[in-house]
Structure 1
Amino acid sequence: MSFLKYPPWVILHIPHDSCVIPADVRSQFLLSDAELKQELQCMTDHFTHTIFAEPIGDAMVVRAPVSRLVVDVERFAEDEQEPMAARGMGAIYEVTSHLRPLRRRLSPNEREMLMQTWYHPHHQRLEAVVSDTLDRYGRCLVIDGHSFPGTALPYENASPAIARPDICIGSDPFHTPKVLEQIFVEVFGRNGWRVTVNEPFAGALVPASRYQRDPRVMAVMVEVNRDLYLNPDGWGAKLEFDRIAKEIKACCVAGLAKFDSEMSDKPSALSSKSTTDGNDSVVRLRDVTVGGRIRKQFQSSVWAIAQRAASRQSESLNGNMLTSRQTTSLAFLDGSVSVTRGEFGPSSGMFWEGILVKAFILNELGFDAERLLRQSLPSHKELKLMVREGRATLDK
């Protein structure tokens, strides 16, 4: 049987499709069985596992096993960090979608038990899958699969009179390449659907340890209006569900293929921009292994960071602006990585950071390179070892 396949560096995150309420948790809820069923109908992202993740080829799936009414794995663990906690809907909901009491007051031990049983294992699983994908491919993309009701629920604090899109693309300024966001809007729009970005829902999930730290971890959220595929009662799927699910998955796969194609074309375009001033040294990494990562992954990581910087134009990630006077370039030559080094010498402690900063002469881009590169590139000590072992050459 043939089926659509995501690239192997894609991770499908399905956090809200479960209706499971464990028996030992049911007693916490103040709702009758009928009321609880109605709340599940309102708050569950019905069939999103089928829509996004069946079948998927080599991509990985991280799926929450219990309902978000038990624990919402997409919320921050600490209420102080979670904006929705002010409405009683932090990681452990206290109110319903209609802002009525959902569960009795829990003891600290009960709350901790819920987090230890359901929340933390889910995020440990996501962290592990992301780390494994980075080790294998040098990059990963988390597709955060969701759905939303055709009419806003009271907890959303939005007018129910406002027409909602068919598809909402959620993006993050750091982890969603602008070109990927644009491609997803384009491919879903070509299917005849009305598409919005970050409205009515915004953002995309990234593991906490990588958030705004590792640009190799990309993320995009795809939210589907349930009116497209659910019956009016909100439970059963429409007769055309299979077709709609296939079209949604096809849009995701087509968008990723176009994104991958555009990114793979970028390095060769950079080579013509390479410059040196006679005082620079060129480090050419010619071995297949660079700091435990294959060269192709190294290139992919570098270009992923470049793309994110390009999407920000002249913005600064950390208040540190760098001008073209401080930059030179990076080039991909004959399948190897060649980087030019100018005023940032090894003694400055900015050797590798400086190399990458100077790669992006484009539009006088500025960003906190040290923070971005800490997990992506070899240190100067590692470089010296590579030169000593003959795995890299330092040409003066």
Structure 2
Amino acid sequence: MTEVPPPFAFLPGDADSPVILHVPHSSREIPAAVRSAIVLDDAALERELDHITDAHTAALAGAAAGLAGRRPWRFVNGLSRLVVDPERFPDDREEMLAVGMGAVYTRTTHRETLRPDGFDPAPLIERYFAPYARAMSDAVADRLAATGRAVIIDVHSYPSAPLPYELHGDGPRPAVCLGTDAFHTPPALLDAARAAFAPCGETGLDSPFAGTYVPLEFFEKRPEVSALMVEIRRDTYMTEPGGPAGPGLDTLATALAALVDAVSG
């Protein structure tokens, strides 16, 4: 039997690098079996993917990895977040359940129906969410074993104008939003990010999106695992909502590489 590769990739960096660039939302790929339960027609689904996908963030992470003095590791999701969102809590701790966007989305960015009422998310959690979570935990454990620490830099983007699903869309929308966690984001990491992204425009903190991703195995347990979410406003590097990248991507890649270098030593 031919082995089916997982729908994510852990791409190697330098052996002594503690940094993992995590890219969870860059793909538009939806397997046919998953697509069959989505109620949107093809045109509406493409429009939703334009809004929900963090377009070009995998390319951004790849370019930054190539520019960094010590190449970081990269964990890249190969499937759309409309399959599962690996960064959500898979239970009722997840505040985005209020708008139908828990680990498995049932509503769109405009709060319209994505999956029918009564849809059972359990098979998608088992097939896609759980293996992703295990693999990301293994990736962090690998960096801890090799270097004594792990630095997760979560690479995202967000629209210049708020979408209806946003729970905190009335706050500032800087060029670069830095999402933090009280336990896992030390001041030195935050300072390094502010300095690295200064050439890209205004940086802000936890608005319009807050927090950062740490696998549950390490969450609020291991201070050697530090984490920062980098949310880039899309009009700074691409044509919205789902268009091509522009020259701003190169500036951002240089900035991201500078952050990687600053926290790699």
TM-score under structure 2 length normalisation: 0.87
For residues 192-244 of structure 1, the C-alpha deviation after alignment (integer angstroms, 9 at most, x for no partner) is 51110111111110010101100000101111111012124532223x2xxx3
**1:97 maps to which residue?**
109
2:80 pairs with 67, 78, 81, which one?
67
**1:231 maps to which residue?**
239
Residue identity matched to 1:217: V
Match runs of 1:1-396 below 5 Å:
8-54=17-63, 56=65, 58-78=71-91, 80-108=92-120, 111-158=121-168, 164-189=173-198, 191-238=199-246, 240=247, 244-259=248-263
Q: Is the 8 A contact 1:52 1:248 kept in 2?
A: no
- The alignment of Structure 1 onto Structure 2 pairs a total of residues equal to 248
CA distance in 1, matches of 2:213, 2:220: 11
CA distance in 1, matches of 2:241, 2:145: 45
**2:4 maps to which residue?**
none
CA distance in 2, matches of 1:61, 1:173: 24
CA distance in 1, matches of 2:200, 2:29: 34
**2:5 maps to which residue?**
none
Using CA pairs below 8 Å that are at least 6 residues apart, which structure has the higher relative contact order? 2
**1:291 maps to which residue?**
none
1:70 Cα deviation after fit: 1.4
For residues 243-285 of structure 1, the C-alpha deviation after alignment (integer angstroms, 9 at most, x for no partner) is x333223223323434456xxxxxxxxxxxxxxxxxxxxxxxx
**RMSD of aligned alpha carbons:** 2.0
CA distance in 2, matches of 1:119, 1:53: 24
For residues 312-336 of structure 1, the C-alpha deviation after alignment (integer angstroms, 9 at most, x for no partner) is xxxxxxxxxxxxxxxxxxxxxxxxx
Deviation larger for 211-220 or 115-124: 115-124
CA distance in 2, matches of 1:233, 1:145: 18
Give the fraction of aligned pairs with identical amino acids, expressed as a percent.
36
Residue identity matched to 2:258: A
Deviation larger for 46-55 or 229-238: 229-238
Q: Is the 8 A contact 2:19 2:73 kept in 1?
A: yes
Q: Is the 8 A contact 1:52 1:245 kept in 2?
A: no
For residues 162-183 of structure 1, the C-alpha deviation after alignment (integer angstroms, 9 at most, x for no partner) is 6621111111111111121122
Q: Against the structure 1 CA distance between its residues 60 and 148, is the aligned structure 2 distance closer, same or farther, given a 3 Å change threshold?
A: same
Q: Is the 8 A contact 1:62 1:125 kept in 2?
A: no
Q: Is the 8 A contact 2:53 2:80 kept in 1?
A: yes
1:157 Cα deviation after fit: 3.4
For residues 73-92 of structure 1, the C-alpha deviation after alignment (integer angstroms, 9 at most, x for no partner) is 110011x1111112211111
CA distance in 2, matches of 1:31, 1:45: 20
Whose helix proportion is higher, 1 or 2?
Answer: 1
CA distance in 2, matches of 1:141, 1:53: 17
> Secondary structure at 1:143's aligned position in 2?
strand
Q: Is the 8 A contact 1:12 1:53 kept in 2?
A: no
TM-score under structure 1 length normalisation: 0.59
1:24 Cα deviation after fit: 0.7
Unaligned stretches of 5+ residues in structure 2:
1-12
